[in-house]
Amino acid sequence: MTRQAWLGFGFLAPATLFVVAFFLAPVVMTGFFAFTNMSTATGITGGTYRITEGVISRLAGSEDVPAPLIEALGQQQSVVDPTGLAALAQGDFDAAFVAELEEELGGRTFASQRELEGAIRDLDNRPRRVRDIKAAAELFERSVLNVDFATQADFAEAIQAYAGPVPDTAMTALARAAYTGWSMTTDNFSRLFNSPELGTVAVNTVFYIFATLTLFNTGFALVLAITTFYLPSRQASFFRTVWLLPRISPPVLYVLLWKWLAWDTGFLNAVLEPLGVAGRNWMFDSETSAWTFVILINGFVGASMGMIILSSAIRAIPQPILYASAVDGAGRLQQIRHIILPQLRWPLLFITSYQTLSLLTSFEYILLSTDGGPGSTTEVWALAAYHTALRNYAGNLQYGYGAAMALVLVVFGIAMSFVYLRLFNFKALVGRPRIEQ
């Protein structure tokens, strides 16, 4: 390999590391987490085996675990075992009572503490006071509920010691249900596509992207670019600067200004109440008003970027073409239709694709303004993934399920990119000019 080739690889190495670290690695990790059941409950490093009331409830009706076994696991038993006898001997109990209890009842299992108390009363050397009998019986209470076992082997040994021999299929099902750590699964996607709530979120997302993109990020940006192109230079610079303000403003301050405009004691009410319009919080007054503000807030930011790129593309059109069209009698509308718009297919493809992906994955302005409200009216897919994986009111953050939702966004974004390439006839854009054919 030549020195120039090695030099080229050296210059590309930082960019390659940047792409791998900040693009490929997060995508790969998201794809991996999407196939796990990671959550706050499972943790991210592993877990233990624990039978809880929730596990008992989920196993009810299971074909793999017999119903009597499930019932036994949900109850406490009393077992006269060496551990309990040792604790009894260390207590303030008569040695003759301990010896007789070991001889007569050692190794026996009782369905409840009350049954063991009844058996103790039949002994000759039993304690005379009822509370002493109860205290002795409490030392033999055994249960597997809410007990952590570090390994599956320890868990299986404890279950068999408690409930007797358990078939392998039943033990496997028990271990799977009782494991508190994360595991690989495809349940996230079946849950995802069977969720009626996410159907509404998907519709919200499509509406949000289509409305914001067509009205502002591409549509209004194109109007601004063409309008300022025909304005005198100083006025055009002024309008471009004004429309850049939303993009260069900090998001928190920018959204706060919109809230000041819309809230109960804000600017709109200060102007409209003297005219007889009842005061209200305009941002949350109705679903229509909420969506209006969400689209306006995001649209003003998106339009500025499209305006700059499209303005630059229009100014790159050779001026002699426009002068020649004017000499031939073409008006402004004819120049726009036959000269400017055909020359903007490349920048329009970029703006449309970029802004679609941006709207698909960004949610900070919706989070700061409505947080998906009122109710879930303005909840979009990216915001729902954030709420699921990183912040929700239930307290159980579902990392795996949120990653699955994010992975769907990645797949949808790639699909939309191919749609745009076909829609704008990308093959023709990169093809050889006709004059060279």
For residues 130 and 138, what is the distance between their CA atoms, to the nearest angstrom?
A: 12
Q: Each residue of 398-436: pLDDT tens digit?
A: 999 999 999 999 899 989 988 888 888 777 766 665 655
CB atoms within 10 A of CB 250: 8
CA distances from residue 282 to 237, 252, 267, 275, 378 in whole angstroms, order as listed: 33, 19, 11, 16, 14
Please report the pLDDT score of residue 201 as a whole number. 94
Asked if 154 contacts 148 with a C-beta cutoff of 8 angstroms, the reply is: no
Q: What are the DSSP calls for 168-233, one per residue?
A: HHHHHHHHHHHB-S--B-SHHHHHHHT-HHHHHHHHHHHHHHHHHIIIIITHHHHHHHHHHHHS-H
Which of the two residues, 428 and 350, has the higher pLDDT score? 350
Please report the pLDDT score of residue 394 as a whole number. 62
Class of 192-436 in CATH: mainly alpha
Residue 393 has pLDDT above 70, yes or no: no
Asked if 41 contacts 392 with a C-beta cutoff of 8 angstroms, the reply is: no
- Residues ≥6 apart with Cβ < 8 Å to 264: 279, 280, 281
Q: Each residue of 157-174: pLDDT tens digit?
A: 888 878 888 899 999 889
